[in-house]
């Protein structure tokens, strides 16, 4: 049996032997921890125990039927326990987190009048504010509580400008407040125009939607575009492809880009960082772990390759091939998708000349690769056909300036054009 969580698909082994008698849920249906999914019929069924008055001597041994029923109940409880442990392990939680301790019911508080009753009834007693009647009228028309306005006049007197400034600050705060997918406006009734079908979002797609919404509403995105002449590196890729294949991998442009980006992140450490707005700090990471977006039939997954700067291109090709296969085969564990500091996404196998990838929050940058094509390039006084790769770098403008993004992407482009730079500068 396979259970799909928000992060991964987990195979749950059976702890009992027998035949599935009844399946109580449908494929793709959401289930809760502890919910019965199916019933199993064992090799030997317990005999039904008829209700009889309890014997006077309780020390007599139980009947064989009662023992068998007790054993079946214990086996069922053990199976539920194994299923529960597999589910919380896939979520990356402990039993204490999944099943928090019951809290003692709080003692009923004494009766108190609602705090807003005075405002509603118009009998709330607050200190008078120094504001003229026409200023109070303006505050009422704008829906502003005049008691919350800070006066800038003599003795804290409130003017019309103070009321307008306070109203403007409230509107600005409301616009800048991050939203949530659940707060989206209601959709129209699409069934009025034809037949529709509603399908519930499954675990990976639901988690992807929530994560991308958070990234898009949190990060001020900017995308820098550039191109790299990969004619020479394509010859090297074809030359060393058999070596990577012998090791169990595939020498791809993405594998080469992993090594190039790791070198670039050492030169530009601000791209290997995160922002902690609560503490107003920048977190520079002393390790380089790069995630690679993988397209699967269940949605987008991003396995992470750790310590990219410490591995050669053949090793990276092997690990990338292995993780991509696990992602498509639903074998990827949650731990293999954690700890990334930078992300690469490659749509070149599908097509396109450029796009704007969304930064994988809490990272601050992501590199997109599009389909390479042969273009005429002016070289040595004449046009020559060259293989050109489009590059798209999206970044967090709170930390990274446009000039730094242009330098970072140009560094990557030049490293792809002149692989010798990796041995000199990387």
Active site residues: 397
Query: Using CA atoms, how far apart are residues 262 and 283, in angstroms rounded to an integer?
Result: 18
Pairwise CA distance, residues 316 & 257, whole Å: 10
- Nearest-angstrom CA–CA distance, 387 and 364: 29
Q: How many residues does the chain have?
A: 426
What DSSP assignment string belongs to 13-63?
--SS-SEEEEE-S-TT----TT---EEEE-SSPPPPPPP-PPPS-TTSPPP
d(CA 189, CA 193): 8
Residue 372 three-state SS: coil
Say whether 199 sits in a helix, a strand or coil: coil
CA of 16: how far to CAs of 19, 72, 77, 274, in Å? 10, 10, 11, 47
d(CA 68, CA 48): 10
Residue 372: how many other CB atoms lie within 10 Å: 19
Cα–Cα distance measured from residue 272 to residue 285, given in angstroms and rounded to the nearest whole number: 6
First to last CA, the chain: 47
């Amino acid at each position: 049996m396979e259970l799909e969580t928000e992060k991964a698909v987990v195979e749950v082994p059976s702890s009992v032997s027998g035949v599935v008698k009844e399946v109580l849920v449908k494929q793709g249906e959401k289930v809760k921890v502890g919910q019965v999914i199916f019933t199993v019929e064992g090799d030997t069924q317990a005999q039904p125990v008829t209700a009889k008055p309890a014997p006077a001597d309780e020390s007599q041994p139980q009947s064989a039927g009662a023992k068998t029923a007790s054993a079946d109940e214990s086996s069922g409880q053990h199976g539920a326990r194994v299923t529960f442990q597999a589910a919380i392990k896939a979520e990356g939680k402990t039993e204490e987190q999944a099943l928090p301790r019951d809290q003692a019911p709080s003692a009923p508080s004494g009766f108190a009048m609602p705090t807003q009753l005075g405002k509603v009834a118009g009998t709330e007693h607050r200190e008078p504010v120094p504001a003229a009647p026409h200023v109070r009228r303006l505050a009422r028309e704008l829906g502003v509580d005049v008691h919350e306005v800070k006066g800038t006049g003599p003795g804290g007197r409130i003017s019309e400008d103070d009321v307008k400034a306070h109203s403007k600050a409230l509107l600005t705060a409301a616009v800048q407040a991050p939203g949530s997918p659940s707060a989206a406006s209601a959709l129209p009734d699409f069934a009025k125009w034809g037949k529709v079908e509603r399908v519930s979002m499954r675990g990976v797609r639901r988690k992807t939607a929530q994560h991308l919404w958070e990234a898009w509403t949190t990060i001020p995105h900017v995308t820098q575009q550039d191109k790299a002449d990969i004619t020479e590196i394509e010859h090297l890729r074809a030359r060393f492809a058999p070596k990577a294949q012998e090791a169990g991998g595939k020498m791809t442009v993405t594998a080469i880009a992993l090594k190039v980006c790791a070198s670039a992140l050492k030169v530009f450490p601000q791209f290997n960082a995160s922002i902690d707005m609560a503490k107003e700090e920048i977190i520079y990471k002393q390790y380089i772990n790069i995630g690679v977006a993988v397209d699967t039939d269940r949605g987008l997954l991003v396995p992470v390759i750790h310590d990219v700067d410490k591995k050669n291109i053949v090793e990276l090709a092997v690990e990338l091939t292995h993780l991509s296969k696990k992602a498509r085969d639903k074998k990827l564990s949650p731990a293999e998708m954690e700890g990334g500091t930078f992300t690469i996404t490659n749509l070149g196998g599908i097509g396109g000349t450029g796009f704007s990838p969304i930064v994988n929050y809490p990272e601050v940058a992501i590199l997109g690769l599009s389909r390479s094509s042969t273009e005429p390039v002016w070289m040595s006084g004449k046009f020559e056909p060259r293989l050109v790769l489009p590059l798209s770098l999206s970044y967090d403008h709170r930390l990274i300036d446009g000039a730094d993004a242009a330098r970072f992407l140009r560094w990557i482009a030049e490293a792809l054009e002149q692989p010798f730079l990796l041995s000199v500068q990387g």
